[in-house]
Chains A and B, each alone.
With several copies, the nearest count.
Chain A
Amino acid sequence: MTAVLEKIGLTRPQVAWRIAQEIDDGSYVNLGIGSPEMVANYVPADREIVFHSENGILGMGEAPAAGQEDGNLINAGKKPVTLLPGGSYFSHTDSFVMIRGGHIDICVLGAYQVAENGDLANWATLDTSKPPGVGGAMDLAVGAKQIFVMMDHCTKTGKPKLMQNCTYPLTGFGVVRTVFTDLAVIDVTEGGFVAREITAGISFEELQEKTAAPLTLAENWQTLTPPEL
């Protein structure tokens, strides 16, 4: 019996919190534009994570206080940020040397779809009425050491986004390591999707129903229960 409860699943901040816990101390991390930016808010206090912004910043800090914004100090989403002690500025070209040269430990990206072999679709839909735009997604997809995807488990109309094969144009091939959704933490393995954590209030079978590729439940799986956020 599937009793559909209200508010099953994590809030976006809770997903961001969960991702933040997964990032090792000392990592160099690039956060995609949009929801992934929230990850920076939940880094545990006893870890030092160096955030990279593709426009040419390493050691990016939080948003400035109101009135302290500097138009020359913005992140990849073009929002005002600050620089931490130890931070540095460099050219866009050097910034993509870091990305494409394999120097970024983790990149957290949004996605339209992820396939069970790790294929990533996050730059274009099938809607050709708008111009396409890729930004740094393809560079990050092939360059970062690990790709984490942060996305809703299903589309707004309830369609699965974890697929056997992506139907949207691909950004990169076999690059996704772990998918963090509002319902689960799912690793991409050689054997396909493995649910490592599932949110309270939803069964593995229900999760499988919302996933368009076979799911395996990890032997030591856990319930995903973040703090209230």
Chain B
Amino acid sequence: MSVNITIFKIYPIDQPGLASYSTPMIDKRVDNIAAALGDIQSGAVILSSGFGDAGAPVDLLEALINTGAENLTIVSNNAGEGNYGLAALIAAGKVSQIICSYPISAGSVVFQDRYQAGEVALEVVPQGTLSERMRAAGAGIGGFFTPTSAGTELGKSKENREINGVEHVLEYPLKGDVALIRATQADRWGNIVYDKSARNFGPVMAMAATLTIVQVDEIVELGELDPELIITPGIFVDRVFVHND
């Protein structure tokens, strides 16, 4: 009976203890690459979109060179070509490990040199398993059984199980600290639209990373993107910015 119950007042909605007002209305646009990449830490696992050059975040990868982040693990389908994008980041000595399906494209000379010099470690993952492991990370799946690689060199260190007479291996989620993605259009909510086969790894990497950063050609007004055609809803995206090549 000693409890004071005489405080009668209408709460102002910004009273301490209620929701804070430090966050602005939803606006995921950032001005430039430096603002987009500024807080990426050394040792980060970075999911890098693209299949060959289509959808590859070339500018973002090159800008990473100057951020101070080192000892990076890159998850990507390929290991870079020529001396731009991922190859430039590797050449700058910022990459200590690559997780990919196919690092031996013609032109992946920078990676192959560093690999043979023992400077960059490599984990080769079957291409569908690479995608599916990232989806598992994004979808809250703790692990999944797939027949891909069962019984092969790539499956030999994995847990095996026969299901309906078929040998499977158990694969675990592959989560990123950061996803770097190249797309076509965005809005301030972070909704993303891709172009043709450049879509490839963008959607799955966006959902599999803690921090998702998307470079687009154009940012449009909220409501301009067709809601049926938004491939990556803004819930998976943290930062968008415009940078044309």
Query: A residues bordering B, Cβ < 8 Å?
Result: 1, 21-26, 28, 44, 46-48, 50, 52-59, 70-74, 76, 78, 83, 85-93, 96-104, 124, 129-139, 142-143, 169-173, 196, 198, 200-205, 217, 220, 222-223, 225-227
- Contact across chains for A135 and B102 when beta carbons are under 8 A apart: yes
Given contacts A47-B25, A86-B187, A205-B3, 18 further A-B contacts (CB under 8 A): A21-B19, A72-B195, A86-B191, A89-B199, A91-B202, A91-B203, A92-B77, A93-B131, A104-B235, A131-B103, A131-B112, A135-B127, A138-B128, A142-B140, A200-B8, A201-B5, A222-B17, A225-B9
- Contact across chains for B149 and A138 when beta carbons are under 8 A apart: yes
Q: Shortest beta-carbon distance, A117 to chain B, in Å?
A: 13
Question: Complex Cα distance A85/B221, Å?
Answer: 9
Classify the secondary structure of A's interface with B.
loop
Chain B residues positioned under 8 Å from A101 (CB to CB): 137-140, 207
- Contact across chains for A92 and B200 when beta carbons are under 8 A apart: yes
CB-nearest residue of chain A relative to B120? A131
Question: Complex Cα distance A50/B188, Å?
Answer: 13
Indicate if B157 sits at the interface (CB-CB under 8 A): no
Cross-interface CB contact of A143 among B140, B200, B223, cutoff 8 Å = B140
Query: B residues bordering A, Cβ < 8 Å?
Result: 1, 3, 5, 7-11, 13, 17-21, 23-26, 51-55, 77, 79, 101-105, 111-112, 115-116, 122, 124-129, 131-132, 134-135, 137-141, 146-154, 187-189, 191, 194-204, 207, 221-223, 225, 227-228, 230-231, 233-236
- Contact across chains for B26 and A25 when beta carbons are under 8 A apart: yes
Number of A-B contacts (CB under 8 A): 254
Chain A residues positioned under 8 Å from B19 (CB to CB): 21-25, 47
- Contact across chains for B227 and A93 when beta carbons are under 8 A apart: no
- Contact across chains for A92 and B204 when beta carbons are under 8 A apart: yes
- Contact across chains for A55 and B140 when beta carbons are under 8 A apart: no
- Contact across chains for A91 and B199 when beta carbons are under 8 A apart: yes
Max chain B Cβ within 10 angstroms of own Cβ: one of A46, A98, A169, A202? A98
Chain B residues positioned under 8 Å from A222 (CB to CB): 7, 11, 17
Chain A residues positioned under 8 Å from B112 (CB to CB): 130-131
A58-B102 contact, Cβ under 8 Å, with A72-B198, A100-B148, A101-B207? no
Chain B residues positioned under 8 Å from A196 (CB to CB): 17
Max chain A Cβ within 10 angstroms of own Cβ: one of B18, B125, B126, B223? B126
Chain B residues positioned under 8 Å from A46 (CB to CB): 21, 25
CB-nearest residue of chain B relative to A79? B52
Chain A residues positioned under 8 Å from B131 (CB to CB): 92-93, 96
Chain B residues positioned under 8 Å from A104 (CB to CB): 235
Chain B residues positioned under 8 Å from A73 (CB to CB): 54, 196-197
- Contact across chains for A58 and B233 when beta carbons are under 8 A apart: yes
Chain A residues positioned under 8 Å from B203 (CB to CB): 91, 93
- Contact across chains for A89 and B228 when beta carbons are under 8 A apart: yes
Question: Complex Cα distance A16/B95, Å?
Answer: 41
Chain A residues positioned under 8 Å from B201 (CB to CB): 91-92
- Contact across chains for A83 and B140 when beta carbons are under 8 A apart: no
- The 5 A-B pairs of least Cβ separation, nearest first, read A85-B223, A96-B128, A139-B128, A100-B140, A78-B52
- Contact across chains for A202 and B197 when beta carbons are under 8 A apart: no
Question: Complex Cα distance A78/B124, Å?
Answer: 19
Question: Complex Cα distance A201/B3, Å?
Answer: 11
Q: Shortest beta-carbon distance, A26 to chain B, in Å?
A: 5
- Contact across chains for B199 and A129 when beta carbons are under 8 A apart: no
- Contact across chains for B127 and A74 when beta carbons are under 8 A apart: no
Chain A residues positioned under 8 Å from B223 (CB to CB): 85-86
User: Can you list 28 contacts pairing A with B, beta carbon distance less than 8 Å?
Assistant: A1-B1, A56-B199, A58-B233, A58-B234, A72-B54, A72-B195, A74-B197, A76-B51, A85-B222, A89-B194, A89-B196, A89-B197, A89-B199, A91-B231, A93-B131, A101-B137, A101-B207, A103-B207, A130-B104, A131-B79, A133-B101, A134-B125, A134-B154, A135-B101, A136-B127, A173-B151, A223-B8, A225-B11
